[in-house]
Amino acid sequence: MKRPSILAIILAGGAGSRLGMLTDQRSKPALAFGGHYRLIDIPLSNLKHSHIPDVWIVEQYLPYSLNDHISNGRPWDLDRTTGGLRILPPYQGADGEGFAEGNADALHRQAVLIREFDPALVLVLSADHLYRLDFRDVVETHLGAEAALTMVTTIIDGDASRYGVVQAEGGRVTGFDYKPEQPAGNLVAAEIFLYDADALLEAMDRLAEDRDGLEDYGDSLIPHFVEQRTVAEHRLDGYWRDVGTIDSYWEAHMELLSGDGFDLHDPQWPILTAGPQLMPAFVASGARVEDSLVAAGATVRGTVVRSVVGPGAVVEAGASVADSVLLHGAQVDAGARLARVIADAQSQVGAQATVGSAGGAITVLGSGSSVEGGRQVPAGTELEPGSK
């Protein structure tokens, strides 16, 4: 059977406020993960391996930080003469254009372009989750159920109140509660939605008119489909994690290191990226590296345990870094001690300083911030970008 035409739209415009200062100077999808990867690499790689070549990225917040990484989309085979990658920044022009008020509103602002493209199906993705999924399987579920919408769901551990909580029976979604204070279960929407294109456009136009605009998908768009149309469930049983908070971002790295988390190196389904062209990492005599990832261009002369050392980051002799994430170009001077720290790009920790503590809350050093030599920074502290 011939596969219907599919347009993939990645909603990558959010400010990522739950990630605090890590998104002060970059969009959330541009945030590094696992060394030289970026969060946007996850949906783009899944699309590449699923053979979906028409990909639009909707931008809004600090788009230059994302554009530098995506460029022309070559790592994901999107630099095509026909189709391929299309970047959709906000703009002022006709009525309704400009800055969106939520992810459903951002999608509705592309309605004219979607109609012009004329796909049969529209696959809508977020860019702050870790998962592997063959979207062709989702299409099969969708067609088999003759659904207007197929929602990818997953079971999570812990608090489900910050997600869309789903009730499903026999492969059909029967209920949906958006960020409920008291969740009725732990089955949640993985923010992967496959729509019948005509049904999506009709619903967005109607809801925008009735409600004087759209906000987030959970406010009216998804409830409308659940109440009015057939919504199929496609269960994702593998690893899935939302990395939209400081704690979840750090935890995802620790799971990566322990082997219990997202596998970046699956040879059958590799995560592709536009990585920096740097020489291999240098590990000096006397250095100690355990259960860690050290990216290209990094230099380690001290001790690194259960940590990720990003491209160009430096850990000097006598320094100790444990349970931490160092982003691009972070510097840890001689004798410094870091524990449970996220050190953003180009941050610097002076000699003999102590930052964070084992078992304490996560400490965050903003981009370009510096800690003076000998200073003690308590666990849970967040240093603003560029601060001293």
Handedness of CA 87, 88, 89, 93 (dihedral sign): positive
What is the 3-class SS of 250-278, one letter each residue? HHHHHHHHHCCCCCCCCCCCCCCCCCCCC
Note whether 207 and 220 are within 8 A (CB): yes
Distance from C-alpha of 44 to C-alpha of 381, rounded to nearest angstrom: 34
The whole-number pLDDT of residue 95 equals 55
Q: Tell me the range of 51-65, 197-211, 303-317 where mean pLDDT is highest.
A: 303-317
Range with lowest mean pLDDT among 61-75, 139-153, 228-242: 61-75
Residues 193-206 have pLDDT tens digits of: 999 999 999 999 99
The first and second tokens of residue 163, run together, are 């997600």
Q: Which residue has the tokens 């409920």?
A: 180
Range with lowest mean pLDDT among 64-73, 272-281, 286-295: 64-73
Query: What phi, psi does 292 have (nearest 5°)?
Result: -135, 165
The whole-number pLDDT of residue 243 equals 93
Q: Which CATH superfamily is domain 6-258 in?
A: Spore Coat Polysaccharide Biosynthesis Protein SpsA; Chain A (3.90.550.10)
Note whether 164 and 145 are within 8 A (CB): no
The string of DSSP letters for 333-381 reads -TT-EEESEEE-TT-EE-TT-EEE-TTSPPEEE-TT-EE-TT-EE-TT-
- C-alpha triplet 40, 385, 251: angle, nearest 5°: 50
Average pLDDT over residues 216-244: 94
Give the residue from 18, 78, 21 showing the smallest Cα distance to 48: 78
Give the bridge partners for 172, in sequence order: 169, 232
Scored b (16 or more CB within 10 A) or e, 243-269 reads bbbbebbbebbbebbeeebbbbeeeee
Q: Is the pLDDT of residue 96 over 60?
A: no
Scored b (16 or more CB within 10 A) or e, 133-172 reads bebeebbebbbebebbbbbbbbebeeebeebbbbebeeee
Side-chain-side CA neighbours of 166 within 13 Å: the count stands at 25
Distance from C-alpha of 99 to C-alpha of 150, rounded to nearest angstrom: 28
Distance from C-alpha of 72 to C-alpha of 309, rounded to nearest angstrom: 27
CATH number of 282-383: 2.160.10.10
Q: How confident is the model at residue 97 (pLDDT cuts 50, 70, 90)?
A: low
Residues 104-132 have pLDDT tens digits of: 888 998 999 999 999 999 999 998 899 99
The whole-number pLDDT of residue 98 equals 64
Q: Where are the domains of the chain?
A: 6-258, 282-383
pTM attached to this predicted model: 0.93
Amino acid at residue number 381: T
The whole-number pLDDT of residue 159 equals 87
The first and second tokens of residue 7, run together, are 């347009």
Q: How confident is the model at residue 93 (pLDDT cuts 50, 70, 90)?
A: low
Residues 348-375 have pLDDT tens digits of: 999 999 999 999 999 999 999 999 999 9
Q: Is the pLDDT of residue 326 over 70?
A: yes
Local structure of residue 221 (DSSP, 8 states) = I
Residues 137-195 have pLDDT tens digits of: 999 999 999 999 999 999 998 889 989 999 999 999 999 999 999 998 999 999 999 99
Query: What phi, psi does 16 have (nearest 5°)?
Result: 65, 45
CA dihedral 47, 236, 189, 53 (to 10 degrees): 10
Contacts of 240 by beta carbon, 8 Å cutoff, 6+ apart: 129, 130, 131, 154, 156, 190
Range with lowest mean pLDDT among 58-62, 201-205, 210-214: 210-214
The whole-number pLDDT of residue 92 equals 61
Average pLDDT over residues 22-29: 86
Q: How confident is the model at residue 1 (pLDDT cuts 50, 70, 90)?
A: low
For 18, other C-beta atoms within 10 Å of its C-beta total: 19
Mean predicted lDDT score pLDDT of the chain = 92
Query: What phi, psi does 70 have (nearest 5°)?
Result: -70, -40
